[in-house]
Amino acid sequence: MSELAPCVFVLFGATGDLTKRKLAPALYALHREKLLPESFAILAYARRDKDDATFREDMRAAVKEFAPKMPTEGKEWDSFASRLYYQKGDFDKPDGYKGLAERLTELDAERQTPCNRLFYMAIPPEQYETVIEQLGKAKLSKTTPGCGAWTRVIIEKPFGYDLDTSRHLNDTLSSFFDEDQIYRIDHYLGKETVQNILVFRFANELFEPLWNHKYIDHVQITVAEKIGVEGRGNYFDTSGIARDMLQNHAMQILSLVAMEPPVSLDANAVRDEKVKAVRAIRPISKEEVPHMTVRGQYSGYRTEEGVEPGSITETYAALKLHVDNWRWAGTPFFVRAGKALPSRVTEIAVQFKSIPQVLFNKMKRDNIRPNVLVMRIQPDEGIHLVIGAKEPGPAMNLAPVDLSFSYREAFPKAAITDAYERLLLDAIRGDASLFTRGDEVQASWALLTPILEAWREQGRDVQPYFTNTWGPERAESFLGEGRTWREP
């Protein structure tokens, strides 16, 4: 077992989808890899009438369904199951939290977990503030005097619904927890390849000198999914793709691409630079929204379960963003996210400028394609640099070729760690670098909220697109100036 400090992982929302799909498999995988602290317990707190044994069976069923490669019989499972406990209680009743505090004290004695606590909010976002307040009022949000070194809280996106609600959530959080106790998960930051953006930029001398408006024409960030709303119509219809993927995942990627080098890899040093980059993005006023954004809806969306028949919620959105600082002045960032697109792919395409002068006979400037650097976040994780090469033969013809690095080929033995495993482990060890800070969240909402409001006011302008296509027609011409979206 690892050397990590003993602790109890308190899971709010033990019966929800997130627990089943992500947390149960991630916690069990960490247990199997012997990465969890030796003294460690998971205490679920939820409304339903259950006991430890039923909760253990629920977790087994979840792992079986969502991570079927891991065996759920035998010693390994039994030792994991023996760390699982259940405490019944309401989210909004002080009595429940009294019971929770007592149970934690019992567990501390039974499992030698001296008052270090990690509270995980795997609950619907409407309930975050209730639980946070109740934890605070029950004095569970602070470290117990004379016992334990830390108390942390992990919350999942969405962090609010717009700027006002995100501020409200931040205020509630900071009434009871200090910022360094709060771990806001954006699971994209847990992806290896997202972390590799920093390594690529700051551990290689080659690219950083070119990483600016002098050499880069524009940057495209694509977060595309093939699936539609897949049974999550109820949630999605009140959210839309901009809230679901742009405000968080895409903006996190953008900030890592656009940021200045941090002074160190300390969590706050990195986040200081990320938030500066987001703050440097020129706000899009409501009047500019029609030409700086595109929003679309896939055909058939309105008949999905849970979706309003007249819904104008967007399932595709694209933004044109200008990062107004010395590095990026004049180099736009195009960001798009969508569902029901031709493939599931997340990538960053850095499009370099054209060469200044054409030397090769009979060739027009247009025949020489500018270099593109593609950072593929998922799937087929890797990096590709498209360069021009001479086609073999007597004529001087050029063709684009690929210099490629593939994660799977370069590291054939290493499995890519699941984002949740990485993030849970970091929260247990107290490393917040891959978690979003409150000011980052607000900076990103400050940018997005006027756009969302303008969309709402402009009502019906959501443009249809067929499933399996790259969004509405207008997305095609959106880039302007002869630029086109890369087809991943």
Site residues for ligand BG6 per CB under 6 A: 187, 225, 244-245
- C-alpha 220/C-alpha 197 separation (Å) is 15
Give whichever of 201 and 232 is closer to ligand BG6, judged by the CB atom: 232
Question: What three-state secondary structure class fits 230?
Answer: coil
CB of 377 to ligand BG6, least distance (A): 8
Q: Which amino acid is at 364?
A: K
Length of the chain in terms of residues written? 488
Query: Which tokens go with 189?
Result: 């930051």
In 69-153, where does DSSP find H-type helix? 75-81, 94-111, 128-137
Distance between CA 128 and CA 105 in Å, rounded?
24
CB of residue 247 vs ligand BG6: minimum separation in angstroms?
10
- Respond yes or no: is residue 249 known to be catalytic: yes
- Tell the smallest beta-carbon distance from residue 225 to ligand BG6 (Å): 6
- Joined together, the tokens standing for residue 304 give 């999905």
Residue 384, amino acid: H
* CB closer to ligand BG6, 192 vs 244: 244
- Minimum CB distance to ligand BG6, residue 418 (Å): 10
**Closest to 336 in 3D by CA, of 290, 285, 295:** 295
- Min CB(419)–ligand BG6 separation in Å: 7
Nearer to ligand BG6, 72 or 297 (CB): 297
**Residue 372 C-beta: closest distance to ligand BG6, Å:** 22
- Which one-letter DSSP state was computed for residue 148? -
Distance (Å, whole) CA 212 – CA 326: 8
Closer of 244 and 426 to ligand BG6 (Cβ):
244
At closest approach, how far in Å is the CB of 381 from ligand BG6?
Answer: 12
Nearer to ligand BG6 by Cβ, of 115 and 245: the residue is 245
Q: Residue 185: enclosing H or E segment and its boundaries? A: strand 182-185
7 DSSP β-pair partners: 40
Instruction: Report which of 142, 53, 46, 139 is spatially closest to residue 101, judged by C-alpha positions.
Output: 139
3-state helix, strand, coil in the chain (%, to 5): 40, 20, 40
CB closer to ligand BG6 out of 154 and 245: 245
For residue 48, how many other CB atoms are within 10 A of its CB? 12
**Residue 205 identity:** E
Three-state secondary-structure class, residue 420: helix
| Catalytic residue (one of 31, 187, 218, 249) | 249
Alpha-carbon span 70 to 64, nearest angstrom: 7
Number of Cβ atoms within 10 Å of the Cβ of 404: 15
- Would you say 115 or 185 has its CB closer to ligand BG6? 185
Residue with CB nearest ligand BG6? Answer: 244
Q: Which residues are catalytic?
A: 249
